[in-house]
Amino acid sequence: MLVSRRFLKVATGVGAATLLCKGLAAAQQLMLARTLGATEMADAFFLAQVLPVLLSGLLYNALSANVVVVLAGLPSSVNRASLLSGLLLQVAACMLLVVLLVFLGSLLFYTGSAGGGTNTLWQRAAQFQLPLLPILFFQPIAGLAAGALQSNGNIAASPLSMSLPYLFGVIGLAFTHDRSPYPLALGLVSGSVLQGVSLCLALHFAGAQWAKPIFGNGRQLFKLVLPGLGCNAISTLYLVSDRSFAASLGVGQVAAISYIYSIVTMPTQILVNTVVSVSMPHWAKLTGNRGEFADSLGRALGLLLLAVVPLALCLHFAASPISSILLGSSAFVQSKRDEIAALLGSFALASIGFALKDTLAAALISQRKPAHALAGGFFSLLVAWAVRTSLPGDLGLRAAAIATTIGLFTAAGVAMWSVANREWLGNLWARVRIAIVPAFPAIAAGNVTTTPEASATVAVLVYGLFVLGSMRCWDWTPANTRHIEG
């Protein structure tokens, strides 16, 4: 057996919870597309999301991941209840200061722009940003509580709690009738408040006692969180960079690139979060045992690619029907729908890059090496920027797709180099070749047919057949295979 039954059982539960979370996120995004379309109002709202929504998500992920690492390295004699009390107080104090500073900055920018008599895209973005700021306070607290629950074995609590902001966002959009994003903002804030409160209550009922805080381990956590935050920020910085680039291309381009990112990353995140949530507590215990860690990571990457590569094939061949079904047609003119479909096909390969980069970054964080992933991520951003600026201007947003794809694979390559030696790279190729090699005949078969639906179907079927044949030829599950433990 390649994986243990326990891994499959836990992965199924986490996958179902993550599927619920990302399903609600997709529903929110699709309703947003049908409500706002690709208009200046949509552009302003997506720009307004950059600081409060995306930064709070980064803090949530960084805190939840690194609390697992900190708690895994503690001796049994440490009072974890007191430690968590102190960490929660420190995070709450820091985020209260951040919210205050962001509020003052947004307020000054908005009032200054309004006083000047301008009504620019950025001034509208500042206007929409103000009601979203409470998310910056509650989601990081929820992230710390989710990490503590995950280290205690309750790994489904995090994706289940993340469903709340998306659920309330969908409810807010259901009450929108005049293309205003304010009901969505109110729903996102309400869901984030409920998320933070519910996770803290779950932590309390799991046995945590809010004793006198111990602040010493706070420094250890923040030493890990700061580079880990930067590491997790790489994907968001790609989105922010592409949104800024799109803002210079005309009305509706920011919304278009945002919808594309949602379609590409949401199914990828379901797969990555399932693998990482199950494997990360085990990886954290293997610090110093490089051989066993590399073996577990290689098997996780092999399983991940078997799911992500068919997804990329579907996005490439069926971009037009996928974008039409998901985004609808009522809020988009035909030329805009065609433009988004072509852009989605260009971003198909990036889905594999996102999956590899995020999984390898989580692996480095589990080994207390977030600085390696951070350095590789920023280097990949520079590579993407250099590629995008060197491409012809008439490519438009396709230049962003090409540059982002190259940058993501650069980040994944640097992360592999950080954990690899020559022997591990050879073993890794033995794990992932069954997922990669069948993609080439699948692409060739997909190009034979004429309609997008038939091309995607044929490509996935051919891919599956070649994977089954490769498993027999390359003996993917030798007798001495270790289990992946969760």
pLDDT at 359 over 80: yes
> How do residues 126-141 score in pLDDT, each as one tens digit?
777 777 888 878 888 8
Lowest mean pLDDT among 222-236, 397-411, 447-461: 222-236
Asked, for residue 358, whether it belongs to a domain, the answer is: yes
> How do residues 295-307 score in pLDDT, each as one tens digit?
788 888 888 899 8
Place of tokens 């200046």: 40
- Between 354 and 119, residue with greater pLDDT: 354
Average pLDDT for 441-456: 87
Neighbours of 150 (CB within 10 A): 22
The number of residues making up the chain comes to 486
Residue 80: its pLDDT value, please? 53
Asked, for residue 483, whether it belongs to a domain, the answer is: no
> How do residues 148-168 score in pLDDT, each as one tens digit?
777 666 767 777 777 888 888
Classify the C-alpha dihedral 245-248-253-259 as positive or negative.
Answer: positive
Asked, for residue 60, whether it belongs to a domain, the answer is: yes
Query: Using H for helix, E for strand and C for coil, what is the string for the chain?
Result: CCCCHHHHHHHHHHHHHHHHHHHHHHHHHHHHHHHHCCCHHHHHHHHHHHHHHHHHHHHHHHHHHHHHHHHHCCCCCCCHHHHHHHHHHHHHHHHHHHHHHHHHHHHHHHHHHHHCCCCCHHHHHHHHHHHHCCHHHHHHHHHHHHHHHHHCCCCCHHHHHHHHHHHHHHHHHHCCCCCCCHHHHHHHHHHHHHHHHHHHHHHHHCCCCCCCCCCHHHHHHHHHHHHHHHHHHHHHHHHHHHHHHHHCCCCCHHHHHHHHHHHHHHHHHHHHHHHHHHHHHHHHHCCCCHHHHHHHHHHHHHHHHHHHHHHHHHHHHCHHHHHHHHHCCCCCCHHHHHHHHHHHHHCHHHHHHHHHHHHHHHHHHHCCCHHHHHHHHHHHHHHHHHHHHHCCHHHCHHHHHHHHHHHHHHHHHHHHHHHCCHHHHHHHHHHHHHHHCCHHHHHHHHCCCCCHHHHHHHHHHHHHHHHHHHHHHHCCCCCCCCCCCC
Classify the C-alpha dihedral 312-32-28-63 as positive or negative.
Answer: positive
Percent of the chain predicted with pLDDT > 90: 3
Range(s) of the domain holding residue 112:
5-474
> How do residues 76-88 score in pLDDT, each as one tens digit?
544 455 556 556 6
Classify the C-alpha dihedral 399-267-21-361 as positive or negative.
Answer: negative
pLDDT-based confidence at 345, cuts 50/70/90? Answer: confident
CA 112, chain centre distance (Å): 34
Place of tokens 């900055």: 105
State residue 311 phi and psi, 5-degree precision: -60, -45
pLDDT at 59 over 80: no
CB 409 within 8 A of CB 355: no
Asked, for residue 481, whether it belongs to a domain, the answer is: no
Asked, for residue 480, whether it belongs to a domain, the answer is: no
CB 373 within 8 A of CB 365: yes
pLDDT-based confidence at 106, cuts 50/70/90? Answer: low
pLDDT at 221 over 80: no
Lowest mean pLDDT among 192-196, 206-210, 276-280, 329-333: 206-210
Q: How far apart are CA 274 and CA 279, in angstroms?
A: 9
| Degrees to nearest 5, angle at CA 287 with 283 and 288 | 140
Asked, for residue 435, whether it belongs to a domain, the answer is: yes
Asked, for residue 485, whether it belongs to a domain, the answer is: no
Q: How far apart are CA 159 and CA 156, in angstroms?
A: 6
Asked, for residue 190, whether it belongs to a domain, the answer is: yes
**Total domains present in the chain:** 1
Residue 406: its pLDDT value, please? 92
pLDDT-based confidence at 61, cuts 50/70/90? Answer: confident
pLDDT at 176 over 70: yes
pTM: 0.71
The overall average pLDDT reported for the chain is 75
